[in-house]
Structure 1
């Protein structure tokens, strides 16, 4: 896709700051830059610590959605999981109450400053609240090899659907996968960071380091880029989000809806963790499913959640830096 002019991108941009109902990834607010493009809305919301090169993938996704539009779906709705952050076990019920009929729950584990006992208690509380739900855990690379082995042994009795990125790196995943098989734990391993943050997102598949991959439209450079990665990897895929607004979640849903096969519920239910959003109504699941309705930002909500002027300037500078990376890639292509 030919890059639109930077000035036009910035003219069409809105920076928002949205409140969360629960602390997630260490924050209680989420900032994002939304683009009202000629083909639809795009979202640019790389996490604050990401540099220009990594953020450029997220901008490519936003520009694809805003200028090129989303690919045609092959299904009318997508199943989604509920997400339980690393809260105390006593707070699990309050988090789950924000979701409507989830059949699958992802539980965050390996939080800094917490113990394995906290993780086990949290997963146990989810199982008690939803006895028939499928459970998966996400460690975000938080465990060492030995910690992961101990944790998966402790959590295996809960019949986990899979464990997402329990350790860092492709080699670490491959070594852990061998150990899990040797011990007969019966827990599948999913690669997330080893796909979306890798220079080569297909390396994990070639190494046989995971049973499935997690794909996210923004970090992978857009819906069409993510579809190519899934096709070439040849592994089952779970579509997830990165704490996106309703705009970004709809882009993720477009990815899930365009996949030839969708064997797992998608991690696109995090809209339920927001206390405020940009769409009216917010893009949240009903009965554990997201429909494929059109989603755009509401002008009144954009105004109500507009970020402070200094944060708006910071995000616009960030767009310009990421745009320079994309422009350089097109020049050398």
Structure 2
């Protein structure tokens, strides 16, 4: 590992930006993140605003690993990437998909609060109509009950699902859904891994067929690699609505996994109307070439937050740094 950099060094290296979205995603229309330039490269500290300091400190550990230690050596030079469709209306889907190049896999948000299963079905059906040969996966973010999940996934599987991500909230409920579906739809665990005090509990409970792994919430690429190895399940690497710097960390994780049987959810920069790097780290012909990402000074200045928001983020940085110390 590496020594924790002094707080003063991090404050001097920090840039806080507000990146506008093309469409609402996770209720967000402007995404605030902090990027830091370290001796080994750029790292991103971007926990969502509602996250507490303990959870956020793992995101800081990931940023410091990227900027002050660097990423592990890759075992592949290219990573397949899926498109992401937010909980938009079926009529909006062609415009969302138009921002992606070479579509082969699409992840679709379902179980959005205030929406119905018929709206989910319309969204999935619209994607299948536009892309008859694509792999389609759905993500409920734990929004269903067990009964709702089983019924919804049996219905949505008429369109052919690659897998369903986090259909219910708890590990016990995930195991129930998986048993009820009996292999008809594969189950992927996301929040049950990255938000759990024990990220391996889902594997021990037989609650998932595969894991969705995000480097930042787990404390960095190396820790995420350890979890995948210990769990013994296939992994999909995903992002957390990051700038290209944060996507670069996810790409480094995907590139370092010994096996990568699924396309990864690293295409969310395509949902943004602003970024910190030029060119942005987006999929070309359905994948990304592994490369380092360097933030652009002009873009950092263009999207810089007002002084009071920078102070808010620096306060968060200080508290999380203290927890890591």
TM over 0.5: yes
Instruction: For 1:309 and 1:18, locate their aligned partners in 2 and report how far apart those are by CA, in whole Å.
Output: 16
Instruction: For 1:54 and 1:324, locate their aligned partners in 2 and report how far apart those are by CA, in whole Å.
Output: 13
1:60-117 per-residue CA deviation (whole Å, 9 max, x = no partner) reads 0000000000111000110000000000000000000000012000000000000000
Residue 292 of structure 1 corresponds to which residue in structure 2? 290
Q: Extract unaligned runs of 5+ from structure 1.
A: 328-333
Q: Extract unaligned runs of 5+ from structure 2.
A: none
Counterpart mapping for 1:1-333 below 5 A: 1-181=2-182, 186-327=184-325
Instruction: For 1:77 and 1:308, locate their aligned partners in 2 and report how far apart those are by CA, in whole Å.
Output: 37
Instruction: For 2:7 and 2:173, locate their aligned partners in 1 and report how far apart those are by CA, in whole Å.
Output: 40
Number of corresponding residues: 324
Instruction: For 2:38 and 2:194, locate their aligned partners in 1 and report how far apart those are by CA, in whole Å.
Output: 25
1:23-60 per-residue CA deviation (whole Å, 9 max, x = no partner) reads 10111110000001010000000011000000011000
Residue 330 of structure 1 corresponds to which residue in structure 2? none
Instruction: For 2:43 and 2:292, locate their aligned partners in 1 and report how far apart those are by CA, in whole Å.
Output: 13
Provide the secondary structure at the position in 1 that maps to 2:31.
Answer: strand
Cα offset for 1:7?
A: 0.9
Instruction: For 1:321 and 1:192, locate their aligned partners in 2 and report how far apart those are by CA, in whole Å.
Output: 26
Instruction: For 2:71 and 2:103, locate their aligned partners in 1 and report how far apart those are by CA, in whole Å.
Output: 26
Instruction: For 1:167 and 1:292, locate their aligned partners in 2 and report how far apart those are by CA, in whole Å.
Output: 33
Instruction: For 1:10 and 1:205, locate their aligned partners in 2 and report how far apart those are by CA, in whole Å.
Output: 39
Instruction: For 2:291 and 2:57, locate their aligned partners in 1 and report how far apart those are by CA, in whole Å.
Output: 28
Cα offset for 1:293?
A: 2.1
Instruction: For 1:158 and 1:324, locate their aligned partners in 2 and report how far apart those are by CA, in whole Å.
Output: 49
Provide the secondary structure at the position in 2 that maps to 1:219.
Answer: helix
Instruction: For 2:138 and 2:86, locate their aligned partners in 1 and report how far apart those are by CA, in whole Å.
Output: 10
Provide the secondary structure at the position in 2 that maps to 1:278.
Answer: coil
1:185-235 per-residue CA deviation (whole Å, 9 max, x = no partner) reads x10000000000000000100111100001000000000000000000000
State the TM-score, normalized to the length of structure 2.
0.99
State the 4+ residue runs in structure 1 displaced beyond 6 angstroms.
Answer: none
